[in-house]
Amino acid sequence: MLIRTPKDWALPESAVTPERDYDLRPRRDFLKTLGYGVAGLAGSALTSHSLLATTAGFPTRVNPDFRDPALKPTSYELITSYNNFYEFGTDKSEPKPNANKGWTTEPWTVEISGLINNPMKIDANDLVSKLGGAEQRVYRFRCVEAWSMVIPWDGFPLSKLIALADPKSEAKFVTFTTFNDPKNVPGQRRPVLDWPYFEGLRLDEANHDLSFIATGIYGKPIPNQNGAPLRLVVPWKYGFKYGKSIVKIDFVAKQPRNTWQAMAAQEYGFYANVNPTVDHPRWSQASERVIGGGGVLGSRQKTLMFNGYENQVAGLYTGMNLAKFY
């Protein structure tokens, strides 16, 4: 059962089905650990730091090719206060306060490794500079919980990072390991998920023009609660693919297991392509609630195949049974 604090954007409980309420049958051992969130965080005696996010590349340049005038961006306030970031609490209101005390994302080192010719450990700011700075793109965002936003992301195409890494021919997948800091992040001392949060893409998906590493939102360095300083953005996939606060990008030969698939494989797959015709086992994916859209409760709209990016990405899945590879 979900307990919410009243907020102007608060939704009735029936409107949202949190990922945490996954079917626990195969993983009884996690049952005990779920549900209490990170209530202890709020009262902890952690000192506040003044946090500097990754700033290289700002101000960013608008990329007109990724600015559909039909898309109305969600407010900055909502994008940065209605979050899924289970390291900082399982309620949407918790990441904003909890990710901004006791945890710092500057400086930040990311490791690029695996089946590549140019492995490196590099500072996040240096990486952005090396890749030619940052640009802004407005993308649709669809969570598997059947809600959506429109987000102006700043950052760089993932394909640029892949070109820098220079994969060997054996590399077929790219994995994204996010941070693991149980000392400073109380939520990571509790086995709510199997830390660190982990995601992966097929190499051709990762190289697609839409795949992006975000370093900002609305032209400002990305806030901690949204995954500072580097987070994955793959707009035709459900939000759980968008690993936050990445520390390692590894090129591998075999399809990896991502965090939510490891937690509940019958509900969350590797591909996680937005697909209104393939329902989640416990709810429909045919429509979505637009966060902030049209009133206090938001408004519903039909979900689009590949989240509206069908023309661009359908070719990646030719001949695949998308109900089987969900």
Residue 226 is a binding residue for ligand MTE (CB under 6 A): yes
CB-wise, 115 or 201, nearer to ligand MTE?
201
For tokens 């009243």, the residue is: 6
Q: x/- string (CB under 6 A) for ligand MTE, residues 28-67?
A: ----------------------------------------
**Binding partner at 176 among ligand MTE, Mo ion, none, C-beta below 5 to 8 Å by kind:** none
Q: Does 239 bind Mo ion (CB under 5 A)?
A: yes
Identify the residue among 89, 239, 292, 308 touching ligand MTE (CB under 6 A): 239
Out of 243, 292, 298, 308, the only residue in the binding site for ligand MTE (CB under 6 A) is: 243
Binding flags for ligand MTE, 123-152, as an x/- string (CB under 6 A): --------------------x---------
Q: Does 85 bind ligand MTE (CB under 6 A)?
A: yes
CA distance 107 to 127: 12
296, two tokens: 């206090």
**From candidates 147, 176, 240, 242, binder to Mo ion by CB under 5 A:** 240
Beta strands (DSSP E) in the chain are: 61-62, 109-114, 120-123, 135-143, 147-157, 173-178, 198-202, 212-217, 220-221, 231-233, 246-252, 287-290, 299-302
Using an 8 Å Cβ cutoff, are 123 and 203 in contact? no
- Which of 244, 272, 285, 326 binds ligand MTE (CB under 6 A)? It is 244
Number of residues counted as binding Mo ion (CB under 5 A):
4
Q: Which of 74, 83, 261, 285 binds ligand MTE (CB under 6 A)?
A: 83
108 makes contact with ligand MTE (CB under 6 A): no
Burial class (CB in 10 A: 0-12, 13-18, 19+), 39: exposed
Please report whether residue 289 would count as binding ligand MTE according to CB under 6 A.
no
Q: How many CB atoms lie within 10 A of CB 302?
A: 8
Length of the chain: 326
Widest CA span in the chain? 55
For residue 204, the 8-state DSSP code is H
Q: Beta-strand (E) ranges in 163-306?
A: 173-178, 198-202, 212-217, 220-221, 231-233, 246-252, 287-290, 299-302
Should residue 143 be labelled a site residue for Mo ion when binding is judged by CB under 5 A?
yes
Decide whether 242 or 309 has the Cβ nearer to ligand MTE.
242
Q: CA 15, 234, 196, 191: dihedral to nearest 10 degrees?
A: 10
17, 74, 84, 303: residue in contact with ligand MTE (rule CB under 6 A): 84
Residue 4 or 121: which CB sits closer to Mo ion?
Answer: 4
**Interatomic CA distance for residues 323 and 317, integer angstroms:** 12
- Does 291 help bind Mo ion (rule: CB under 5 A)? no
Question: Which single residue brings its beta carbon nearest to ligand MTE?
Answer: 239
- Say whether residue 188 binds ligand MTE (CB under 6 A): no
**Order of all β-strands in the sheet with 109-114:** 120-123, 109-114, 246-252, 173-178, 198-202
Q: Given the rule CB under 5 A, which of 206-214, 221-229, 238-246, 295-303 is the region that contacts Mo ion?
A: 238-246
Closest distance between ligand MTE and the C-beta of residue 198, in Å? Answer: 9
Binding partner of residue 293 among Mo ion, ligand MTE, none, CB under 5 to 8 Å per kind?
Answer: none
Give SS3 for 177: strand
Residues between 190 and 219 with contacts to ligand MTE, criterion CB under 6 A: 197
- Binding segment for ligand MTE among 2-10, 47-55, 82-90, 118-126 (CB under 6 A)? 82-90
CA nearest neighbour of 127 among 106, 108, 148: 108
Binding site residues, Mo ion, CB under 5 A: 84, 143, 239-240
